[in-house]
Amino acid sequence: MTNSTVVSGLQAGLKGRDFIDFTDYTPDELQYLIKLAEEIKHKQKSGEVYHPLAGKTLGMFFTKASTRTRVSFEVGMFQLGGHALFLSGNDTQIGRGEPIPDTAQVMSRYVDGIMIRTFSHENVRELAEYATVPVVNALTDLHHPCQVMADILTLKEHKGRLEGLTVAYVGDGNNMANSWIQAAPKFGLHMRVATPPGYECDAAVVEEAKQLAQQFGTELMLTNDPVAAVKNADLIYTDVWASMGQEAEQAERVRKFADFQVNEALAQHAKSDFLFMHCLPAHRGEEVSAGVIDGPHSVIFDEAENRLHVQKAILVATMA
């Protein structure tokens, strides 16, 4: 079987697929999406007109506030020749109690794809179950796969490879950590997560990640010791300590996460050429020091830009 035949098969296999988390995607499919993102990014940077989604419309549901997600998907659809339709929780009947299956079936007759950024992961799965067009998860409380794809593209760009690199995530075992431990083994990445006691990753996702790490021969470390996680790491990653919907816990979390700040002292345990990433928005002086996030190892704005390119790849692969 030739390489072109493999690529053609991957293209055909992704058409019409949902992108909800990494469970249903093989390593080859994920690598294909990263390669496609690289190609689409090159087309844009070179000024090439590329409109594979001409005449297509993406319906975008938001019940969580957003900067990067809304702008990157909306701009991405425009650059691909299509149209994006923004729908907040106040703009649709789903916000007034319309059943998700009804909304899914109606929207499927109007648009060519659905993107959703919301709280419940199960709501996204239900939407995908009843929709007849691709559904893309732009963030839930359980997973943030589009962000991790952007992170992985950024890591590859700066390190020139992925397999064998070590990623250290320090902080809350939230949707970012869940998606990282689920994706890392499929890219050949070693993964370490350091969280305060009681703030670990989702138990079911951890069990899946352990099996994947064993299957693909990668390391998975889950610890309460940030130094152990960061030791000789190629990438240090963190996120806010209190995500959207957890604002009431802010003061308590600041106290419990105090030893988990990514700062210059902690970063000294990583490799000398480590990268720093954060999905943004960031709280300087809280989960990360200004010296790290604004320092020479930080690639947060390359990372933010790559949301645009990987999401365009996902849209092209599933909708074109």
DSSP per-residue letters across 2-67: -HHHHHHHHHHHHTT--BSSSTT--HHHHHHHHHHHHHHHHHHHTT----TTTT-EEEEEESS--S
**144 counts as catalytic:** yes
70, 79, 141, 147: which one is catalytic?
A: 147
Q: Tell me: domain 148-303, CATH 3.40.50.1370, correct?
A: yes
The annotation status of 67 as a binding-site residue, yes or no, is yes
Give the separation between CA 122 and CA 119, rounded to whole angstroms: 9
Phi and psi torsions of 318, nearest 5° = -95, -25
Given this chain, do its domains 2-144+307-319 and 148-303 carry the same CATH topology?
yes
Q: Are 311 and 288 in contact (CB under 8 A)?
A: no
3-class secondary-structure state, position 276: strand
144, 190, 297, 309: which one is catalytic?
A: 144
Give the separation between CA 52 and CA 210, rounded to whole angstroms: 38
The annotation status of 279 as a binding-site residue, yes or no, is yes
Peptide bond into 226 cis (omega under 30): no
The annotation status of 145 as a binding-site residue, yes or no, is yes
Closest of 146, 151, 175 to residue 165, by C-alpha: 151
Give the separation between CA 57 and CA 191, rounded to whole angstroms: 37
Structure tokens at 233: 């790491």
SS3 content of the chain, % helix, strand, coil (to 5): 50, 15, 35
3-class secondary-structure state, position 94: helix
The annotation status of 175 as a binding-site residue, yes or no, is yes
Q: What residue spans define the domains of the chain?
A: 2-144+307-319, 148-303
pTM of the model: 0.95
**147 counts as catalytic:** yes
Residue-level pLDDT, tens digit, the chain, 320 residues: 455 545 666 777 899 999 999 999 999 999 999 999 999 999 999 999 999 999 999 999 999 989 999 999 999 999 999 999 999 978 888 767 899 999 999 999 999 999 999 999 999 999 999 999 999 999 999 999 999 999 999 999 999 999 999 999 999 999 999 999 999 999 999 999 999 999 999 999 999 999 999 999 999 999 999 999 999 999 999 999 987 777 788 889 999 999 999 999 999 999 999 999 999 999 999 999 999 999 999 999 999 999 999 999 999 999 99
Give the separation between CA 218 and CA 185, rounded to whole angstroms: 6
What is the per-residue pLDDT for 290?
Answer: 98
Maximum distance among all alpha carbons in the chain? 58
Give the separation between CA 308 and CA 212, rounded to whole angstroms: 28
The annotation status of 201 as a binding-site residue, yes or no, is no
What is the per-residue pLDDT for 260?
Answer: 98
Q: Which strands make up the sheet holding 113-117, listed edge to edge?
A: 83-88, 57-62, 113-117, 135-139
Fold of domain 2-144+307-319:
Rossmann fold (3.40.50)
79, 202, 279, 311: which one is catalytic?
A: 279
What is the per-residue pLDDT for 131?
Answer: 98
The annotation status of 146 as a binding-site residue, yes or no, is yes
Give the separation between CA 184 and CA 204, rounded to whole angstroms: 16
Q: What percent of the chain has pLDDT over 70?
A: 96
What is the per-residue pLDDT for 245?
Answer: 74
Helix (H) or strand (E) holding 138: strand 135-139
121, 192, 297, 307: which one is catalytic?
A: 307
